[in-house]
Protein backbone atom coordinates (compact mmCIF):
# COMPACT_ATOMS: atom_id res chain seq x y z
CA UNK A 1 0.00 0.00 0.00
CA UNK A 2 1.27 3.43 -0.91
CA UNK A 3 1.78 5.99 1.81
CA UNK A 4 1.50 9.76 1.38
CA UNK A 5 5.26 10.19 1.01
CA UNK A 6 5.39 7.62 -1.79
CA UNK A 7 2.43 9.21 -3.53
CA UNK A 8 3.95 12.69 -3.31
CA UNK A 9 7.16 11.28 -4.76
CA UNK A 10 5.17 9.75 -7.61
CA UNK A 11 3.61 13.15 -8.33
CA UNK A 12 7.04 14.81 -8.47
CA UNK A 13 8.47 12.02 -10.60
CA UNK A 14 5.63 12.18 -13.12
CA UNK A 15 5.82 15.99 -13.26
CA UNK A 16 9.56 15.88 -13.98
CA UNK A 17 9.09 13.10 -16.54
CA UNK A 18 6.45 15.16 -18.36
CA UNK A 19 8.76 18.17 -18.49
CA UNK A 20 12.09 16.39 -19.14
CA UNK A 21 11.39 13.22 -21.10
CA UNK A 22 8.18 14.22 -22.86
CA UNK A 23 9.33 17.82 -23.37
CA UNK A 24 6.06 19.37 -22.24
CA UNK A 25 6.51 23.06 -21.55
CA UNK A 26 5.56 24.54 -18.16
CA UNK A 27 2.02 25.83 -17.87
CA UNK A 28 1.58 29.37 -19.13
CA UNK A 29 -1.88 29.99 -17.66
CA UNK A 30 -4.44 28.66 -15.25
CA UNK A 31 -6.69 27.93 -18.24
CA UNK A 32 -4.05 25.65 -19.72
CA UNK A 33 -3.52 23.88 -16.39
CA UNK A 34 -7.27 23.37 -16.01
CA UNK A 35 -7.51 21.86 -19.50
CA UNK A 36 -4.66 19.42 -18.89
CA UNK A 37 -5.94 18.39 -15.45
CA UNK A 38 -9.46 17.95 -16.85
CA UNK A 39 -8.10 15.78 -19.67
CA UNK A 40 -6.33 13.55 -17.13
CA UNK A 41 -9.48 13.44 -14.98
CA UNK A 42 -11.57 12.47 -18.01
CA UNK A 43 -9.11 9.65 -18.78
CA UNK A 44 -9.41 8.40 -15.20
CA UNK A 45 -13.21 8.59 -15.45
CA UNK A 46 -13.12 6.48 -18.62
CA UNK A 47 -11.08 3.83 -16.79
CA UNK A 48 -13.56 3.88 -13.90
CA UNK A 49 -16.55 3.49 -16.24
CA UNK A 50 -14.78 0.51 -17.81
CA UNK A 51 -14.47 -0.94 -14.30
CA UNK A 52 -10.66 -0.74 -14.52
CA UNK A 53 -9.66 2.30 -12.42
CA UNK A 54 -6.20 3.34 -13.56
CA UNK A 55 -3.92 4.46 -10.73
CA UNK A 56 -1.51 5.96 -13.27
CA UNK A 57 -4.17 8.46 -14.30
CA UNK A 58 -4.54 9.55 -10.68
CA UNK A 59 -0.78 10.03 -10.47
CA UNK A 60 -0.93 12.17 -13.62
CA UNK A 61 -3.76 14.27 -12.15
CA UNK A 62 -1.72 14.86 -9.00
CA UNK A 63 1.43 15.62 -11.00
CA UNK A 64 -0.33 18.19 -13.15
CA UNK A 65 -1.95 19.78 -10.09
CA UNK A 66 1.50 20.01 -8.52
CA UNK A 67 2.90 21.47 -11.75
CA UNK A 68 0.17 24.12 -11.77
CA UNK A 69 0.86 25.07 -8.17
CA UNK A 70 4.58 25.46 -8.77
CA UNK A 71 4.72 26.75 -12.33
CA UNK A 72 1.91 29.28 -11.92
CA UNK A 73 3.31 30.44 -8.58
CA UNK A 74 0.37 29.19 -6.54
CA UNK A 75 2.73 27.42 -4.15
CA UNK A 76 2.34 30.01 -1.40
CA UNK A 77 0.75 28.36 1.63
CA UNK A 78 -2.89 29.38 1.87
CA UNK A 79 -2.43 30.98 5.27
CA UNK A 80 0.39 33.17 3.84
CA UNK A 81 -1.27 34.09 0.57
CA UNK A 82 -2.02 37.74 -0.21
CA UNK A 83 -5.72 36.89 -0.53
CA UNK A 84 -5.83 35.42 2.97
CA UNK A 85 -3.99 38.40 4.45
CA UNK A 86 -6.34 40.79 2.63
CA UNK A 87 -9.37 38.91 3.99
CA UNK A 88 -7.89 39.01 7.50
CA UNK A 89 -7.27 42.75 7.24
CA UNK A 90 -10.80 43.37 5.98
CA UNK A 91 -12.23 41.33 8.84
CA UNK A 92 -10.34 43.46 11.37
CA UNK A 93 -11.84 46.67 10.00
CA atoms within 13 A on the CB side of 6: 3
Q: pLDDT per residue over 24-46, tens digit each? A: 899 999 999 999 999 999 999 99
Q: Mean pLDDT lowest for which of 2-6, 13-17, 19-23, 47-51?
A: 2-6
Whole-structure pTM value: 0.74
Report residue 23's pLDDT band, with 50, 70 and 90 as the boundaries. confident
Task: Tell me the longest C-alpha to C-alpha distance in the chain.
Answer: 54
Amino acid sequence: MLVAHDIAGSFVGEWLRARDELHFKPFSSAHEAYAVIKEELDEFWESVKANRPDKKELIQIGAMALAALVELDFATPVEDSPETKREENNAKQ
